[in-house]
Every structure is written in C-alpha cells, then in structure tokens.
C-alpha cells in the first residue's frame, strides 16, 4: 500500500477500506508516515467527507491504537458524558455527583483545556489537594463504593487521535464532521462506558456553528455509538454565548457549587439537569426523561447533590471546606471592569473571544507546556438579552497579571450591543437518539 495512492483516492471522493484506514492510522502513530502526507489526507477528508462505515472504521482504528479501559469490575450500567467543547462549560462537575446520587455509576476520565476551551481536570485541580491520579484499583473501588470517581485521561488512551488532533489543529481541519465524530467517539469507546450522553455544542463558541451541522454531527456520533453497542444519546445545546456566568477554573468550580446548591443561573442549571436526566435514563434509574429531570431537581433542592460533591472532593484528597466557603478557592489579586461603550441590549457575547480573553488572563494554555493560574478568569455581569446603559460593567476580568490590555480588548470586542432586544436564546435545540 502506498500513502500517496490513498490520498489520491480520497481526493477523488472514493471510499477508503478498513484495511487502508488501519494502515494510515498505524503508520502515522508509529512514525512511518510523515505529517505532510497525513495533512494532505485530512484536507481531502475535510472536502470529500467520509461515509458511515469509514467513520466507524476510523473510530475503531483510533481505539485500537492504545489502551482500552476495562470497567467490568464495576457493577451496573456505567454511563459517561462528553461535550464537544465550549466556554464556561462546567457541566461535568455538576452531573458527576448528581448522577451518582441517583445510584448510577460514573467512572469519568476527563481531559485538560487547550486554547480557548477549559478542561474538567484543570477545574478540579483548582481545589487544593484534589488528586486526579488514582490507581486503576482505587478508581474502580471508588465507583463501586461511592458511584463516582474522576481521573485524568491516561496518556495511552487513543494516542492516534491525540497525534492527529494536534495536526488538525495546525492544518485547519478541526471542524470536519467525520474527524470530530471519530475523535470524540474513540475516546468514549476506549474509556469503557456502556452508555454515553453527548453534549453537542452549537454556536459561535463551538466547533459547529449551525443547527444543521450540529444535527449531522450528533447523528453521526449516535450512529457510531449504537453500531458499537453503546446506547448513545446526543443533546444539542447552545454555545452562542458562554454557559453560565463564570469562566476560568476556580470561577467555574464556584459556579458548579452554586448550581448544586440550587442557586445556579437558569442556562447552566437547565443544561446540566438535561444531560444528567438522559444519563440516568440510560443507566436505568428512571423510565423517562421528564421523571428523571424532576427527581434530579428534587435531589438538588434536598441538599443531597452538594453533599455528594463534597464527598467527591473529600475522597479524592481535596479540601472539602471550599464547598461551604468558596472564597477558599484561589483568588486573583487584580480585577478589571469592562464597561459598555453605549446603551442598548446585549445582542451577542462571542464565546470564543471570552475564552481567548480568559486564556490571556492566565486561565488557559496557549501551548501544552504552559502553566495555568487557577484564580484567573472572567465573571460575566451582563448576558444576552440584558439591558445596559453606557458605562455599565459588562464583565469583570480576574487576573494576577499587572498588564492585561490584550485580554481587555478581546473581552470588550466579544460584546455586541444594539438598540433592539434580541430573540430569546434557546438552551436545548434538539435531542438525537
Ligand atoms: N473534541 C474532541 O475530542 N475531538 C474533536 O475533534 C473535537 C472536539
């Protein structure tokens, strides 16, 4: 087999066979095929697409490139969730204890943030002492005993996806539906869950910008999951503005605590309850979505959900006092207010720009090696639909940097203020089963 022939084949819109996909993924992972040939192939896939069989074959080639997690030592239906990535997305922090309260085991592996999006593992590490490196035995034991545990993704989980994702990032081929679908699903399949709820983000801050593309991505991923015997549901949720009011690691833990105490903003609360409800239905705790949603809401109101989060923090070595006193989370020294230049209504908050601004403040990494500042972040004061007067504070930047001019400019440019009131934002657009 010659790589150049396979590039030509895809360039001409033909279908790649399973053995050809295996050859490509194996060859690239072990260093036999160079970056420039995979780059050309990725661009051909970007323009010509892949059929369902090719996407499933690519997914399995990624899965087979590394370790597969065996969760058979955990009793019950193991349910996982995955978000395609957004800004202010602290849903995993909320659903993990919430679903565990319904007695459904969640054995969660999460990643770190890169670029403008955050990562659940970084957020939890904002809690002093929180340990995301449990042994396999401890991980399984915690899920059996407490119904929940979370660890960082093992270095050897889908290494082919890791290598190809890094190349996609620098070759303009991230936003391809077959490539996103196989990348996301390979990690979920390799992580060993029996059932998966996908949070497909759509809007300015997401990889897919239109509902049409989001449906296609959701359909593709649900198809892969079900064809590999994983019960899969995709929920299409809004990312046309950041989710909730807090962006940044400690900030997002603080907001997750508020949601679990029943004091969260309506968007983050509704999205979290919706994802958690589908997880518990797939796990067999409730018969239908409506019952699950109502019961989970009651679990929050009763105080069980926040107690469960406190238990998670405690068993993984973190300081549980942050739950009662979130001011114990890292705090930035400097606070800069971004003010409205004119009066009107907030019509849009470009989520990606807010994410970039937070990264510039120290909350995220430009490169994998960068250290993050857990206390850095942005608190939104105004959201889409809010009325503002010139001079009102739109958001507050929290940082330890003395000079954050660039972050200020980017955050200011994220807001669009117009005279007219915008249409109301829908939080959940669709559910694909
Ligand atoms: N998240 C992933 O894991 N992979 C992608 O390609 C996009 C989002």
- How many angstroms does the Cα of residue 26 sit away from the middle of ligand 1? 20
Q: What ligand 1 atom has the least distance to the C-alpha of 180?
A: 6
Residue from 163, 176, 207 whose mutation best tests the ligand 1 pocket (most atoms within 8 A of CB): 207
- How many angstroms does the Cα of residue 246 sit away from the middle of ligand 1? 23
Q: Which residues are within 8 A (CB) of 421 and not within 5 positions of it... i.e. 6 or more apart?
A: 345, 385
Position 114 scores a pLDDT of 67
Which protein residue has the closest C-alpha to ligand 1 atom 1?
84
Position 412 scores a pLDDT of 98
Q: What ligand 1 atom has the least distance to the C-alpha of 187?
A: 3
- Rounded to an integer, what distance in angstroms lies between the CA atom of residue 173 and that of residue 168? 5
Q: What are the φ and ψ backbone dihedral angles of 9, each rounded to 5 degrees?
A: -60, -50
Which protein residue has the closest C-alpha to ligand 1 atom 3?
184
pLDDT category of residue 207 using cuts at 50, 70 and 90: confident
- pLDDT tens, position by position, 155-206: 899 999 999 988 998 899 988 999 999 999 999 999 999 999 999 999 988 8
- pLDDT tens, position by position, 321-355: 999 999 999 999 999 999 999 999 999 999 999 99
- pLDDT tens, position by position, 71-103: 999 999 999 999 998 899 999 999 999 999 999
Indicate which residues carry an active-site annotation. Answer: 82, 161, 168, 183, 187
Residue from 183, 200, 206, 218 whose mutation best tests the ligand 1 pocket (most atoms within 8 A of CB): 183
- How many angstroms does the Cα of residue 184 sit away from the middle of ligand 1? 5
Q: Of 208-222, 299-313, 364-378, which range is least confident?
A: 364-378
Q: What ligand 1 atom has the least distance to the C-alpha of 179?
A: 6
Which protein residue has the closest C-alpha to ligand 1 atom 2?
184
Which protein residue has the closest C-alpha to ligand 1 atom 7?
180
pLDDT of 367 > 90? The answer is no
- How many angstroms does the Cα of residue 186 sit away from the middle of ligand 1? 10
Would you tell me how many other CB atoms lie within 10 Å of the CB of residue 336?
Answer: 17
Pick the closest to residue 363 from 273, 250, 263 (CA basis). Answer: 250
- pLDDT tens, position by position, 256-281: 999 999 999 999 999 999 999 999 99
Average pLDDT over residues 245-259: 98
Q: Are 193 and 154 in contact (CB under 8 A)?
A: no
Average pLDDT over residues 213-219: 97
Binding pocket residue ranges, ligand 1, CB within 6 Å? 84-85, 165, 179-180, 183-184, 187, 207
Position 176 scores a pLDDT of 94
Position 169 scores a pLDDT of 83
pLDDT category of residue 378 using cuts at 50, 70 and 90: very high
**Domain extents in the chain:** 3-49, 79-324, 330-418
CATH superfamily for domain 3-49: Transferase, Pyrimidine Nucleoside Phosphorylase; Chain C (1.20.970.10)
- What's the fold here for domain 79-324? Pyrimidine Nucleoside Phosphorylase; Chain A, domain 2 (3.40.1030)
- What is the CATH code for 330-418? 3.90.1170.30
Question: In this predicted model, which residue has the larger pLDDT, 174 or 291?
Answer: 291
Q: Are 332 and 349 in contact (CB under 8 A)?
A: no
Q: Which residues are within 8 A (CB) of 79 and not within 5 positions of it... i.e. 6 or more apart?
A: 99, 104, 105, 106, 193, 194, 195, 196, 197, 279, 280, 282, 283
Which protein residue has the closest C-alpha to ligand 1 atom 6?
180
- pLDDT tens, position by position, 114-159: 677 778 999 999 999 999 999 999 999 999 999 999 999 888 999 9
Which protein residue has the closest C-alpha to ligand 1 atom 5?
180
- How many angstroms does the Cα of residue 9 sit away from the middle of ligand 1? 25
- Rounded to an integer, what distance in angstroms lies between the CA atom of residue 292 and that of residue 233? 15
pLDDT of 208 > 80? The answer is yes
Position 153 scores a pLDDT of 85
Q: What is the CA radius of gyration of the chain?
A: 21
Which protein residue has the closest C-alpha to ligand 1 atom 8?
84
- How many angstroms does the Cα of residue 185 sit away from the middle of ligand 1? 9
- Mean of pLDDT over the chain: 95
pLDDT category of residue 43 using cuts at 50, 70 and 90: very high
- How many angstroms does the Cα of residue 152 sit away from the middle of ligand 1? 16
Average pLDDT over residues 226-243: 95
């Amino acid at each position: 087999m010659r790589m150049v022939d396979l590039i030509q084949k895809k360039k001409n819109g033909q279908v790649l066979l399973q053995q050809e996909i295996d050859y490509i993924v194996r060859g690239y992972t072990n260093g036999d095929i160079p970056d420039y040939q995979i780059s050309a192939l990725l661009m051909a896939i970007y323009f010509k697409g892949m059929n369902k069989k090719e996407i499933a074959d690519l997914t399995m080639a990624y899965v087979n490139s590394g370790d597969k997690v065996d969760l058979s030592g955990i009793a019950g239906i193991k349910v996982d969730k995955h978000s395609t990535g957004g800004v202010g997305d602290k849903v995993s922090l909320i659903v993990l204890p919430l679903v565990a309260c319904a007695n459904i085991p969640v054995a969660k592996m999460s990643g770190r943030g890169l670029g403008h999006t955050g990562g659940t593992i970084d957020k939890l590490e904002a809690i002093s002492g929180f340990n995301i490196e449990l042994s396999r035995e401890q991980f399984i034991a915690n899920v059996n005993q407490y119904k929940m545990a979370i660890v960082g993704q093992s270095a050897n989980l889908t290494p082919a996806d890791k290598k190809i994702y890094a190349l996609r990032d620098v070759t303009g081929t991230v936003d391809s539906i077959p490539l996103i679908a196989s990348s996301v699903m390979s990690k979920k399949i390799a992580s060993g869950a029996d059932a998966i709820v996908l949070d497909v983000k759509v809007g300015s801050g997401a990889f897919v910008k239109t509902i049409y593309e989001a449906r296609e991505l959701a359909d593709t991923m649900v198809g892969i999951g079900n064809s590999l015997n994983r019960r899969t549901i995709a929920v299409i949720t809004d990312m046309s503005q950041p989710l909730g009011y807090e962006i940044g690691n400690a900030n997002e833990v603080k907001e997750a605590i508020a949601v679990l105490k029943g004091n969260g903003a309506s968007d983050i609360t509704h999205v979290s309850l919706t994802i958690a409800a589908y997880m518990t239905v797939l796990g067999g705790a409730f018969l239908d979505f409506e019952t699950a949603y109502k019961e989970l809401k009651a679990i929050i109101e009763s105080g069980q959900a926040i107690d469960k989060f406190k238990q998670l923090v405690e068993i993984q070595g973190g300081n549980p006092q942050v739950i009662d006193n979130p001011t114990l989370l890292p705090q930035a020294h400097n606070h800069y207010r971004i003010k409205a230049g004119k009066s009107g209504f907030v019509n849009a908050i470009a989520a990606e720009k807010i994410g970039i601004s937070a990264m510039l403040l120290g909350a995220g990494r430009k490169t994998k090696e960068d250290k993050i500042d857990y206390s850095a972040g942005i608190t939104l004061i105004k959201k889409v639909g809010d009325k503002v007067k010139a001079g009102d504070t739109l958001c507050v930047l929290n940082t330890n940097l003395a000079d954050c001019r660039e972050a200020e400019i980017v955050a200011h440019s994220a807001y669009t203020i117009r005279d007219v009131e915008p249409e109301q934002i829908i939080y959940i657009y669709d559910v694909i089963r």
